Structure 1
Amino acid sequence: MRRTVFNEDHEAFRTTLREFIASEVVPHFGDWAREGRVPREFYARLGELGIFGIQVPEEYGGAGESSFKFNAILTEECARAGVSFGGSSVHTALCLPYLLAYGTEEQKKRWLPEFVSGRMMTAIAMTEPGTGSDLAGMRTTATLSADGGHYVLNGTKTFITGGAQADRVLVCCRTAPPTPEDRRAGITILAVDARSEGYAVGRKLEKLGLRASDTAELSFTDVRVPVEDRLGEEGLAFGYLTHNLPQERLGIAVSAYAQSAAAVRFAHEYVRERTVFGKEVASFQNTKFVLADCKADVDAMQAVVDRALDAHDAGELTAADAASAKLFTTELAARVIDRCLQLHGGYGYMLEYPIAGLYADTRVTRIYGGTSEVMRSIIAKSMGL
């Protein structure tokens, strides 16, 4: 079926992006995955191309687009080629919405031009060892100085995507203890300069998938953060974090769909080339039925994602809608990609084949952005259960 969710501008962007990925990413991606990060100069290249500025207002050096659909095309094209842009998805899809929504005019003028150019890469630090999805249980603290000029930040964060190369990190911390009535109260976001004394990048974590994306532990020991670098109001950050969750979960749903579509494409190409017992693997009825089932599943995922993209651009995507899209696509993607890997036989287990990378990469989509169990709870609550 013809997709109607994208217009001519979107498709022109897709064409340019596909050419860029083929010429400047695919030839190097294997090296990046082995090194556990993309080179820093690649982020500067993305800045030159305007990738980081699509949703940044023109007065700060961006293109001023409000649609999330350009982000979706970026996700689709990376998955199609079996590559990624490292931790830059956090830079644009997670950090930027907070800077735009809660940054002061002074902060936007100070940060966004460098954000757009790639000279200042950002990450967001929410998760702590032992807390997982329980953000209200965070123990990292920031104490306001006696003169009110700066905060003193102490604590540890983990699973920070892009954390090893970030220049400024949005650190979620406690500026006041929780109350018996509200565990979520007292959380604040500080935009911490990675060059600050007492700021340290710890272990670079070895992951099952997403291997070209650096993920690190961060620690803060008496880090002085100027009060001018607080993002939004003190103590209100939990509400800020939940406000951006529908878009974050939509992005994950798009990724799950795109990875599934890519898996079907890779499997289709492989079974047409591979012979077993003197016959093309594609000629066996089982192969045809498996790929037919997978194609139908991908079509269903595409319909859910496209509807959610339209709803998001119209400002109508609810938390329950986003949770439903994420739950459906990520759970189904796991089955689709597993079946496509099976069609590759032993070669599907080899990292030189892109299906192996997709298999490893997609597993985390049922965990980050809220686990599938959390998604079910959100959906059930929206049903009055």
Structure 2
Amino acid sequence: MDHHLSPEHEELRRTVEEFAHDVVAPKIGDFYERHEFPYEIVREMGRMGLFGLPFPEEYGGMGGDYLALGIALEELARVDSSVAITLEAGVSLGAMPLHLFGTEEQKREWLPRLCSGEILGAFGLTEPEAGSDAGGTRTTAVRDETTGDWVVNGTKCFITNSGTDITGLVTVTAVTGRTADGKPQISSIIVPSGTPGFTVAAPYSKVGWNASDTRELHFDDVRVPAANLLGTEGRGFAQFLRILDEGRIAIAALATGLAQGCVDESVKYAKERKAFGRAIGGYQAIQFKIADMEMKAHTARLGWRDAASRLVAGEPFKKEAAMAKLYSSTVAVDNAREATQIHGGYGFMNEYPVARMWRDSKILEIGEGTSEVQRMLIARELGLPS
């Protein structure tokens, strides 16, 4: 498979690389330290069309594909992961469910504003007792027989982009009934921000991703019209499995970007920092560390691009997406640790980007399916007993 980028994809890569270095890099450290959402940067990303990359032009998108999204995420994450995860969640989790499963009316209502970055969407899946076991959903949605409205009750946690000033909606998974054998029947329902009974908690105090928005959500007799059902009733479980499969490619691209950013910063520091009379980059111990880091980042890139290419071509990609996510997240943690070691005491100082990368890396082995879940998926795709 040819992994060379097309001229269009290469132009996108250079554009986002320039934006990341010229706009994001000089400002994001202050936002990160203040735990503040970077509205100005996000608005600029919207004007660039990044939130509309994989969506059709008829809905305000750029007419691109998932490979284009991954390229943008990798280049952003080479500089900062908070900005990258805001884009990833806004596209893969916020807008993609509407694109894949929404009615024409739902697409016309929401996608143009999501593609432009005017509003952000969020995906309410995880709950306090339903993380990796997403089938353990406790949130419920019951039809009011008089009005036909859905009445939603429950709690969601760790939801990205859910409490910003520009959040427009959250797609919530909820139990809407039971199957013949008593298993929960899960559906997806659109809940617009500001709906009575829908409250958003204060931002979490997080180890990393400090310039991104992550909240707990509460639904207390939240009423939305019957038309807010996303897709077919009872198909919510299958829908979010599809969303997570695709999202793993996006997270793999983001993780690859962080891993490559660690290489970038380590090379720069190793050329400048002197010890025992010469630059530390001249010592074999440092050279070997950086060489291994580059090898891992390169291999991770091949993995996510392969999975994305399969998705774009309409081929099966579940196993490849799981492998890409598992490997790239592991590499991100490894490279962040080594980059911090190369920087020595300065790597422990927040003024250096590698300190931010170290703090941001660990969540990549957890979000969008833990490393353990990825291994389960790979084993199943190989035909091993479940």
Q: Which amino acid aligns with 1:170?
A: T
Partner of 1:128: 127
Q: Which amino acid aligns with 1:324?
A: M
Partner of 2:108: 109
3-state SS of 1:110 partner: helix
Q: Distance in 1 between matches of 2:302 and 2:44?
A: 33
Residues 6 and 69 in structure 1, CA contact (< 8 A), matched pair in contact too: no
Partner of 1:73: 71
Alignment of 1:226 with 2:194, yes or no, is no
TM-score by length of 1: 0.93
Q: Which amino acid aligns with 1:161?
A: T
Partner of 2:240: 241
C-alpha displacement at 1:139, in angstroms?
0.7
Q: Distance in 1 between matches of 2:51 and 2:281?
A: 41
- 1:292-339: CA deviations, max 9, x gaps? 222222232222223222222212242222111211222233222211
The structure 1 segments of at least 4 consecutive aligned residues displaced by more than 6 Å after TM superposition are none
**Aligned-pair Cα RMSD in Å:** 1.9
Residues 350 and 356 in structure 1, CA contact (< 8 A), matched pair in contact too: yes
Q: Distance in 1 between matches of 2:159 and 2:186?
A: 18
Partner of 2:17: 18
Task: Select between 38-47 and 300-309 the one with higher mean Cα deviation.
Answer: 38-47
Partner of 1:99: 98
3-state SS of 1:25 partner: helix
3-state SS of 1:358 partner: helix
Residues 127-146 of structure 1 mapped to structure 2, 5 A cutoff = 127-146=126-145
Q: Distance in 1 between matches of 2:351 and 2:180?
A: 52
Partner of 1:273: 272
Residues 319 and 381 in structure 2, CA contact (< 8 A), matched pair in contact too: yes
- 1:261-301: CA deviations, max 9, x gaps? 11111111111111112221112221112122222222322
Structure 1's 339 and 191: CA in aligned 2 closer, same or farther, altered over 3 A?
Answer: same
Alignment of 1:310 with 2:315, yes or no, is no
C-alpha displacement at 1:178, in angstroms?
6.1
Task: Select between 167-176 and 245-254 the one with higher mean Cα deviation.
Answer: 245-254
Residues 88 and 251 in structure 2, CA contact (< 8 A), matched pair in contact too: no
Structure 1's 39 and 269: CA in aligned 2 closer, same or farther, altered over 3 A?
Answer: closer
Q: Distance in 2 between matches of 1:128 and 1:178?
A: 22
C-alpha displacement at 1:180, in angstroms?
4.2
Partner of 2:355: 356
Structure 1's 366 and 197: CA in aligned 2 closer, same or farther, altered over 3 A?
Answer: same
- 1:213-241: CA deviations, max 9, x gaps? 11001101111111111111111100111
3-state SS of 1:186 partner: strand
Partner of 2:86: 87
Q: Which amino acid aligns with 1:247?
A: E
How many residues are paired up? 380
Gaps of 5+ in 2: none
Task: Select between 297-306 and 208-217 the one with higher mean Cα deviation.
Answer: 297-306
- 1:15-62: CA deviations, max 9, x gaps? 222333333322321232133342445433322222222222222222
Q: Which amino acid aligns with 2:275?
A: V
Partner of 2:370: 371
Q: Distance in 2 between matches of 1:289 and 1:13?
A: 32
Structure 1's 360 and 97: CA in aligned 2 closer, same or farther, altered over 3 A?
Answer: same
C-alpha displacement at 1:371, in angstroms?
0.8
Gaps of 5+ in 1: none
Task: Select between 113-122 and 369-378 the one with higher mean Cα deviation.
Answer: 113-122
C-alpha displacement at 1:83, in angstroms?
5.3
- 1:250-270: CA deviations, max 9, x gaps? 111112222111111111111
C-alpha displacement at 1:144, in angstroms?
0.5
Residues 81 and 357 in structure 2, CA contact (< 8 A), matched pair in contact too: no
